[in-house]
Structure 1
Amino acid sequence: MDVTTVDVMPEECIATIISFTSPREACRDSLVSRIFASAAGSDLVWERFLPPDYQQIISESVSSGSSASSSLNNLSKKDLYFHLCDNPILLGNGNRSFAIDKLSGKKCYMLGARELSIVWGDNPQYWRWISSAELPVLAQSRFSEVALLLDVCWLEIRDTPGGHDGRLPRKREDKWFEIEFGEFFSGQVGSLVEMHLLGTAGNWKSGLVVHGIELRPK
């Protein structure tokens, strides 16, 4: 496509073409020219990048029906996209969250510690449930509670929506450390995958703070 062709092409046509690319490409295209910038930032483009059921997901958020939920619907589609990338929304009883992967637009879900099966998790001798507000400001959780490991020799955390193979934790931008459990592919709708963190060596373990388990696209 040469410059003269772009000059005479309607902005809506350019936006339609860009909508078949990706969020990253749309941001790059916005640098080409003024008409590209306008087209690449249009609702037509970013509506396509949002998950098809994003409105339903927002309506099921903990803040559903509040001014916060209404304000999300009032954002431009581009602003909404990046808001959902950087500001996960809580769902259901507040122990699950939803966000968007910034590069692909695919869904990311996190299960809070209260949604997980933690062996001896309800025994105050081994685990303590603490408010996120008690954590350092830079390490606060999106969930109201996190699980603090006091002292166990058998560490077992699991959920069914995988196993830990010795990978080391890495520090994220939000100051939390994360451990990659593994990768899975499900070709059938409704199939179950068990995520399982297990540490059964004889030494005692303490100090771990469990935020949750996140499911996100590779």
Structure 2
Amino acid sequence: MNNREISEVMDITSNLPEECIANIISKTSPPDACRMSLVSRTFSSAATSNLVWEALLPPDHQQIISESVSSSSSLSMPSKKDLYFSLCDNPILIGNGNRSFTIHKWSGKKSYMLGARELVVIWGDASQYWNWSPLADSPLVPKSRFSVVAHLVEVCWLHVWGHIETKILSPNTRYGAYLIYTIGDQFKGLEKPVKLSVRFLDEIRCDFINAYLLSRTFMDDAPEEEGARFPRDREDMWMEIEMGEFFNHDQVDRVVEMQLRETEVLNWKSGLVIHGIEVRPKDLR
């Protein structure tokens, strides 16, 4: 909302009780609720009420919180607004601790991250190929929200994938899937392109895109391949690369598959450290 729109709302609602104003604000968005709290004392009280922020939280947030294995003290807040922003900024581990949940700050839409242990990693159980290390054993790896990360020791056949159910995501939302990883100090064979894909499992077609796990600054001769993807650095010190996107029309029970593979060049590769795959809303800010 701009200043003129807020002024018009004030004129319309000047004689309404606070609860009615709160009900109106609850139909807007988190950014609008925050802006409208600056309008007047009445609006501030209404815009920070539990009625507003209960409506802006995901409808099933209490059920998700009940599955949390994170510290419960940070989730037992009397203020729904405080709970909202806590869930935005502090991912909670759910289920067996190999998934995390957050909400998108600007929309209230749900985001999930599948930790490395939640993914299928070919040869992942063989220590000569992959090493699963707790954080205490990985001083050079950025901080992880999960207990372990997957270190690639050496493989020629790289294939990692994960699944997520659309029924747990926010409906009518476009999602992107992102591989979250970093590159160790001693790596090799990662300059070759890999294939990434995102698809619904009930669809036969699977379109792969070419991507490079190394950023351009790590490559002596960065390719100018049209359409190829490169990673970007995250604020949490990890790297991410978009694997693909999908639109979740409703909460029908479909399954999305997200793949990383390099099974064509078959060169020996090492030094990749996988944190997980994040599924989050796109283009909502």
Residue 186 (structure 1) shift: 4.3
Aligned to 1:196: 259
User: 1:27-46 maps to which residues of 2 (within 5 A)?
Assistant: 27-46=34-53
Q: Larger relative contact order (C-alpha < 8 A, sep ≥ 6)?
A: 2
The alignment's C-alpha RMSD in Å is 2.0
Give the AA of the match of 1:210.
Answer: I
**Pick from 23, 46, 59: which aligns with 1:52?**
59
Aligned equivalents of 2:131, 2:40: Cα separation in 1: 56
**Equivalent residue pairs, number:** 214
**Pick from 12, 21, 33: which aligns with 1:14?**
21
1:138–1:174 CA contact under 8 A, matched in 2: no
Aligned to 2:158: 155
Aligned-partner SS, 2:255:
coil
Deviations 1:41-79 (A, max 9, x none): 11111000111111111111114xxxx425523331000
User: 1:99-118 maps to which residues of 2 (within 5 A)?
Assistant: 99-118=102-121
Aligned equivalents of 1:174, 1:59: Cα separation in 2: 26
1:210 matched to 2:210? The reply is no
More helix by share: 1
CA gap 1:137/1:150 in 2 versus in 1, 3 angstroms: closer
Aligned equivalents of 2:10, 2:108: Cα separation in 1: 30
1:97–1:111 CA contact under 8 A, matched in 2: yes
Give the AA of the match of 1:182.
Answer: G
Normalising by structure 1, we get a TM-score of 0.89
Aligned-partner SS, 1:93:
coil
Aligned-partner SS, 2:20:
helix
1:133–1:140 CA contact under 8 A, matched in 2: no
Aligned equivalents of 1:137, 1:36: Cα separation in 2: 48
Normalising by structure 2, we get a TM-score of 0.69
Aligned-partner SS, 1:194:
strand
Aligned equivalents of 1:152, 1:18: Cα separation in 2: 54
Aligned equivalents of 1:210, 1:32: Cα separation in 2: 46
In percent, how many aligned pairs have the same letter? Answer: 63
2:74–2:86 CA contact under 8 A, matched in 1: no
Aligned equivalents of 2:137, 2:54: Cα separation in 1: 38
Aligned to 2:240: 178
Aligned to 1:81: 84
Aligned equivalents of 1:57, 1:133: Cα separation in 2: 28
1:172–1:178 CA contact under 8 A, matched in 2: yes
Give the AA of the match of 2:279.
Answer: L
Aligned-partner SS, 1:37:
helix
